Structure 1
Amino acid sequence: MENNFDLIIIGAGPGGYVAAVKAAQLGMKTLVVEKDRAGGTCLNRGCIPTKAMLHASELFREMKSGEEFGIFAKELCFDYGRMLSYRQDVVDKLCGGVEQLFKANGVSYIKGSAVLEKDSSVSVTEEGEKKSFRAKHVLLAAGSRPALIPVPGIEQEGVLTSDELFQLTELPKSLVIIGGGVIGVEFASVFSSLGVKVTILEVLPSILANMDKDFAQNLKLILKKRGVDIHTGVSVTKIERGEEGMSCSYTEKEAEQRISAQYVLCAAGRRPNTEGLFGEGVSIALERGRVVVDEHFRTSMEGVYAIGDLIKGMQLAHLASAQGICLVEELAGEERSIDLSVVPACVYTDPEIASVGLTEAQAKEQGLSFSVGKFMMSANGKSLISKEERGFIKILAEKESGAVLGAQMMCARATDMIGEFGGAVANRFTVPALLRAMRAHPTYNEAVGEALEEVFGSSIHSAPKKR
């Protein structure tokens, strides 16, 4: 393999591998180095395996409620080992697909440990052999790893991160989840659906605290109905090993509480994966552990760039991919093809949650004059058919222009439908423009039309607004 490239990318996750393929398509000689497996955290330990487990566990829960549809399944059970095999099969196919993309597009790929040196070269250790490579540009896309909160006992056996939870070969009997964000509620959904006793401990006043408040209120009720015990506004003080497994002490409303479970899952966010990334003498600007970049993803080191979970911002696979594409387009002298300010956020619970653009709280903070159209899914025919009535679609639009500012959805297929509103916000489409296209009946998507109509108080299937 040659030692000189146009672009060297450290990390083959959604940011790195997408940037590599795009760079190759634009005529850049590209090398990707990944120390683990192609696909990064997302494909191997994050998005994909989590969603596979959500699908399997929700299917089991739906089958248990089959009597509502006149369907009776006798002696219904599941094989956790086969669930794990199904999950791994999905992962293997997608990871293999990434490697095939490299081959098809002429991207050089090394499975080894990469280190950025002070002269901007990249040292790669592959099977014990160290080699040096150079490029006009170096892109850092090493991703992130689970973060641990500073609590006594957090390092002991029995306290798991999301990575370690995936390594269990037997279903936990009980689980305490520290953190009620996206990671926490998705794992709560998986294991509660399989009959595991799950408790969530969240330090903030609500679960999903960084999203629209309607999401938190509705999801809390749904999870509690499914047996999940949720405590918000609490502070975990220590974790100990006891007779019943792990004992987790916490303060709630100034009172000391304790709960025991077989395992404790720390789902308190992720931190940049910079350990071992920089060689001796490398001085690159960091802020709270994250690589500092400008609006063009340039670091403080000439010719070195960073994207994804390494830098400040939302830690989402699709954002990292979009950043990688935009960076490579700029390096090739082209204009960005994606608006990086419009980022959809998704939670794969049941019902699904999705949001893009501004929420009501954010629009009020900015002093904007806006209207809200909200349609409850209990009036949607497809939702009634599938008995997924609890949920809503909410749309914000500027009062004067009618331009869509944001959308929030909590319903079946929300994560698929939110794409329409990403395009609407990015292109400043108006509510009347979106209403020009009719929506098929019966579908979940026709509720989008109802919510759009409700912006003006004219939805067919909603109660009239007071004028």
Structure 2
Amino acid sequence: MEKKYDLAVIGGGPAGYEAAIRAARLGFSVALIEARNMGGTCLNRGCIPTKAILHSSGLYREAKEFGEIGLAADGLSFDFGAILRRKNQVVAELRAGIEKLLKANGVGCFEGRGFLESAERITVTGSSGTQELRADRILLATGCAPSVPPIPGAELPGVVTSDGLLELDALPRRLVIIGGGVIGAEFATAFSDLGCEVTIVEAMPRILPTMDREISQSLSMILKKRGVRVHSSAKVEQIAGDSPLVCRFTEKETENRAEADLVLIAVGRKPATNDLFTEGLGIKTEKGFILTDGHHETSLPGVFAVGDVTGGIQLAHAASAQGIEAVEYMAQGTEPARPRAIPSCVYTSPEIACAGLCADEAKQEGIEVTVGKALTASLGKSVIERNERGFVKLVFEKQSGALIGAQLVCERATDLIAGLVQAIDRRATARELAGVIRPHPTFSEAVTEAAEDALGGAIHAMPRVRRA
């Protein structure tokens, strides 16, 4: 007899597997369908493997400077193959943990590509053949895939997306990265740390173009100091050749070129909706992304969609939150939480993190703000660890005094942002943030300094010049 599930989830990434576990704990019988590896892009081809490489490359860069802190590492070298093997071990360990959790929670896992035939029926096609599943509700969480623009030569051997770059078996001597967003910035950091000659070609006027302008400027200066060539306002015209590859681009009306052993295309991602559902079902999309209402339900009743496949902020933690919201609404009628600040992180060195509005965005929305800023270079912790330039910037709504945004460029920024996200959600004031007793010496002291700066002057900053 065919089994019918309370919920079938297509996609085993952060949104899908977390939603499946939460639904199972709420009493649902759950089927989870994944075409590749459990954990999705984030675990297998994105966040985790990239950060594993960054960890190794960052330690190598620091080790080369051991002499400046009284240490020695004679004959220092690295084994790129071993770095990749460790990356694979990290991924395998975390994937195994997810699979154990799914099994322990009674989630039925199906390997194969799920295709939505109707609001209650899914066809799963995998290596063992085709089978049909039925469910009262369906959740689509198929995520996104790397997007490749129509650049002449983009199909040449040696031109890869982030997926291909993570499967290398040898370190390229020269790497050209088309795209200076988060993915491009992180790979530029990792590969330059390992001694690769890196060139970034970005179409917008600055790298990390969606973030605070000062963040972009700081990272650009740091990367250039480390030997990365950064070309902004640059349009790629063609990729040609074989050994070497040649990337031709126009920068501010001037023709330019960069030679490379490998070219990474990192210009964005597209929704993974090909062969996902029958067009006649009436599931509405926009530019390929699935449209949903305030409860994450699509235009087809009983079918929900969450995560990157719906557009918006394409981040694993945002997708996870949406997946849990969706199943809690299905099971309990729980209304999704009010709009919350969503942190964005870049794992360069120093790290970058932001949430809420920056000052320019607030101005565009007609919000008058007060900005507090603290430079991190003078912190005891920064001096001890020899950290480069950085800052913590806090944006407060002038009328209410509430924190509405935070931008950080400093070590541990990706951890510090969590507390500031909570402060934004709770509309904490500068005085409340300044009143928190933070440990010394830590990077978190910069939050106190920035809040004090918004109130008129930080203790460890030079007094502001008073005008007569």
Go from structure 1 to structure 2 and tell me whether the alpha carbon gap of 1:338 and 1:419 turns closer, same or farther (over 3 Å shift): farther
Residue 445 of structure 1 is matched in structure 2 by 444
Where do 1:263-278 residues align within 5 Å?
A: 263-278=262-277
Report how far residue 295 of structure 1 moved: 1.9
RMSD across aligned C-alpha pairs, in angstroms?
A: 1.5
Amino acid at match of 1:94: L
Residue 7 of structure 1 is matched in structure 2 by 7
Report how far residue 397 of structure 1 moved: 1.1
Amino acid at match of 2:99: E
Report if aligned partners of 1:285, 1:299 keep a CA contact under 8 Å in 2: yes
Whole-angstrom distance in 2 between the partners of 1:408 and 1:119: 43
Where do 1:242-253 residues align within 5 Å?
A: 242=242, 244-253=243-252
1:435 aligns with 2:434: yes
Whole-angstrom distance in 1 between the partners of 2:282 and 2:164: 32
Residue 51 of structure 1 is matched in structure 2 by 51
1:383 aligns with 2:366: no
Q: Deviations over 1:93-136 (max 9, x none)?
A: 11111111111211111111111113541111243322211112
Whole-angstrom distance in 2 between the partners of 1:188 and 1:461: 34
Residue 310 of structure 2 is matched in structure 1 by 311
Count of residues in correspondence between the two structures: 466
Report how far residue 275 of structure 1 moved: 1.5
1:88 aligns with 2:88: yes
Q: Deviations over 1:394-417 (max 9, x none)?
A: 001122332111110000000000
**271-280 or 373-382: bigger deviation:** 271-280
Amino acid at match of 1:348: Y
1:35 aligns with 2:35: yes
Amino acid at match of 2:245: M
Query: SS at 1:319's partner residue?
Result: helix
Residue 296 of structure 1 is matched in structure 2 by 295
Residue 233 of structure 1 is matched in structure 2 by 233
Query: SS at 1:293's partner residue?
Result: coil
Whole-angstrom distance in 2 between the partners of 1:326 and 1:216: 33
- Runs (5+) with no aligned partner, structure 1: none
| Structure 2 length-normalised TM | 0.97
Residue 140 of structure 2 is matched in structure 1 by 140
Where do 1:394-433 residues align within 5 Å?
A: 394-433=393-432
Whole-angstrom distance in 1 between the partners of 2:383 and 2:260: 37
Report how far residue 337 of structure 1 moved: 6.7
Q: Deviations over 1:5-52 (max 9, x none)?
A: 111100000110111111111111111000101100000010000000
Report if aligned partners of 1:322, 1:340 keep a CA contact under 8 Å in 2: no
Residue 64 of structure 1 is matched in structure 2 by 64
Report if aligned partners of 2:431, 2:455 keep a CA contact under 8 Å in 1: no
Whole-angstrom distance in 2 between the partners of 1:127 and 1:201: 40
Residue 172 of structure 2 is matched in structure 1 by 172
Whole-angstrom distance in 2 between the partners of 1:329 and 1:144: 24
Report if aligned partners of 2:350, 2:388 keep a CA contact under 8 Å in 1: no
Report if aligned partners of 1:3, 1:132 keep a CA contact under 8 Å in 2: no
| Structure 1 length-normalised TM | 0.97
Residue 373 of structure 2 is matched in structure 1 by 374
Whole-angstrom distance in 2 between the partners of 1:68 and 1:150: 47
Q: Deviations over 1:432-466 (max 9, x none)?
A: 22233200100111111111111112310012234
Whole-angstrom distance in 2 between the partners of 1:125 and 1:227: 48
Identity %: 48
Report how far residue 374 of structure 1 moved: 0.1
Whole-angstrom distance in 2 between the partners of 1:280 and 1:133: 19
Query: SS at 2:443's partner residue?
Result: coil
**83-92 or 115-124: bigger deviation:** 115-124
Q: Deviations over 1:224-274 (max 9, x none)?
A: 1111000000100111124x3211111112121121100110000111111
1:113 aligns with 2:108: no
Query: SS at 1:455's partner residue?
Result: helix
Amino acid at match of 1:254: E
Residue 77 of structure 2 is matched in structure 1 by 77
1:223 aligns with 2:259: no
Residue 157 of structure 2 is matched in structure 1 by 157
Query: SS at 1:187's partner residue?
Result: helix
Residue 194 of structure 1 is matched in structure 2 by 194
Report if aligned partners of 1:319, 1:340 keep a CA contact under 8 Å in 2: no
Query: SS at 2:433's partner residue?
Result: helix
Amino acid at match of 1:61: R
Amino acid at match of 1:75: G
Whole-angstrom distance in 2 between the partners of 1:336 and 1:349: 36
Whole-angstrom distance in 2 between the partners of 1:435 and 1:221: 30
Whole-angstrom distance in 1 between the partners of 2:339 and 2:263: 36
Give structure 1 regions of 4+ aligned residues with deviation exceeding 4 angstroms: 336-340
Amino acid at match of 1:183: I
**182-191 or 123-132: bigger deviation:** 123-132
Report if aligned partners of 1:417, 1:445 keep a CA contact under 8 Å in 2: yes
Report if aligned partners of 2:10, 2:34 keep a CA contact under 8 Å in 1: yes
1:465 aligns with 2:464: yes
Report if aligned partners of 2:294, 2:336 keep a CA contact under 8 Å in 1: no
Whole-angstrom distance in 1 between the partners of 2:337 and 2:79: 43
